[in-house]
Chains A and B, each alone.
Chain A
Amino acid sequence: MDSMEAETLFRLVKEKYGDKIKEDELEEVKKAVEKIVETSMELRKVELGNWDEPFTVFKPYRRDEE
């Protein structure tokens, strides 16, 4: 886990939502951010090619084709 990335993201969360999180909950939020970074690191270990697209299809919209 990249502790600097986790620390930076935690600071961002605290900056955005700190007024809604109680002091004793901050440690749990920090642990959860660390877990998210750890999970992301697992994803980043897998090599992807430029042509590996998201598995979600975007379709331009026209009402008459609904």
Chain B
Amino acid sequence: MNPVYTPLRRLSDSIRSREASPVELAETFLQRLGKHGPALNAVVTLTKERAMKQAKKAEEEIKKGKARGLLHGVPWGGKDLLATAGTPTTWGAAPFKDQVFDYDATVVEKLEDAGAVLLAKLAMIELAGGMGYRQPNASFTGPCATPWSLGHWSGGSSSGSGAAVAAGLVPFAIGSETWGSILSPANNCGVAGLRPTYGRVSRRGAMALSWTLDKLGPLCLTADCCGIVLEAIAGPDPMDQTTSKRLYRYTLKRDGLRVAVPKGVTDGVAESVSKNFDEAMMEVEKFAEVEEIDFPEFPYEAVTRTILNAEAASAFDEFTARGLARGLTAPECRYGPYARTAVLATDYLRALRLRGRMARIAEDVMETFDAVAAPSRATTVPEIDKEFRKATPGTARDIMGALGNGAGLPAISVPSGFDGEGLPTGIQFMGRAYDENAVLSVAVAYQSRTRWHTMHPDRFTQ
């Protein structure tokens, strides 16, 4: 069996039946990370020693009949903002390139408990994009490319997590999202990316950009894989007081699915993205009841933007005061943090007060639906060497991103086709708080009727 581009369920079956060996899998994917990672700028650090130790342990356990579940012996890569004891955790930023923690992030611990094998720390936009980057070249490891075209951007800030999965360098990866950082690389790299409900996954040991907006989630080949990984990483954590006490089990709803489409959702969206979205919705209509909805006028973007600006300014207060931003890669990130120190406390609190209203608006509008559908991104994939606004001008508002992140709602992006240049486009399904299984049900049903997720870039399939 060729393990590359094999979805998790099948990979797991082959490990349990001992058709595939965890040690050989680790070696295969480490070799691919070493061979293809540099061309994509997708990898920061290979954790080879740790990987081989974990893989040998998994192999021994499986031989002895001790099964830890679907991720036992499966290799993975983590965004380089997850603390891993003894290896550098750079946050994608030159000023932190030698930073080493003496503990593992809770997500890393949970995946170790599940028997998964950590192969690499993956590239990311410096400080998860918190300094206001405007171009792909905003990481000390260089701009990360989508495997579909080395001249185009992987998306960010979980850049390497998207690119590594799409290039078949790891079977799955963990990314983080404050506003768009999982859905964007999932879209640009043509993979599935799941942003869980805020508090579903512990943030302990992950770089904080915005305490009340940051979420950790999986990027995988399929929506089904995302559900499997989420089950392994979700759950309460006494070390992160914001984690929910609700336990999560991945299950799918097969019938009676209801999907909403916001009125005017493709206004200002690039033509090819809009066309692929319309075609995707024709597929969705075959298995779900689809209805148009209207989100009322509300300053969604202003609420989420103000919270992000104020919390990021505070999280990086010392960094800013010490002038360390001067060492960042993108010129705009070197002065980006200063302006946001001007957010007034009363405006931050006003945003937090309005957040309650925003959450209730979301619940009122979405209560009878399993998911709200929209294009994952309004624009096509940007070129790697240009500022976003010049490369892909667009006028669409990002209400889904502002509302979804501001209210802490789960969403998944899955591929919806390709544009005229052969670059992927995505469709997102966003659900009510704690309804990951509803959005996964819709995404899995959609992927069972489409083949976009089975297509992989030629350069990496040989």
Residues of A within 8 A of B (CB): 9-10, 12-13, 16-17, 19-22, 25, 28-29, 32-33, 35-37, 39-40, 42-46, 48, 52-56, 59, 66
Contacts and interface: CB of A to CB of B under 8 A. Distances in A.
Dominant SS among interface residues on chain B: helix
A17 B350 contact: no
Given A43-B350, A44-B350, A25 B299 contact: no
Contacts, number: 92
B323 interface: yes
Given A17-B320, A39-B306, A10 B350 contact: no
Dominant SS among interface residues on chain A: helix
The 8 closest A-B pairs by CB, nearest first: A32-B339, A54-B352, A55-B356, A42-B302, A9-B342, A25-B335, A20-B323, A55-B355
Interface of B: 132, 212, 238, 241, 298-299, 301-303, 305-306, 309, 320-321, 323, 325-326, 332, 334-336, 338-344, 347, 349-357, 359
Contacts of A56: 212, 352
Given A39-B302, A43-B354, 18 more contacts: A10-B342, A13-B342, A17-B338, A20-B326, A29-B339, A32-B338, A32-B340, A33-B342, A36-B306, A36-B309, A36-B339, A40-B344, A46-B298, A46-B354, A48-B354, A53-B356, A54-B356, A56-B352
A46 B299 contact: yes
B342 A36 contact: yes
Among A36, A42, A66, which residue has the most Cβ atoms of chain B within 10 A? Answer: A36
A37 B301 CA distance: 14
A39 B323 contact: no
A45 B297 CA distance: 12
A13 B357 CA distance: 31
Contact of B338 (A29, A48, A54, A55): A29
A22 B303 contact: no
A66 to B, nearest CB: 6
Contacts of A32: 132, 336, 338-340
Contacts of B357: 46, 52
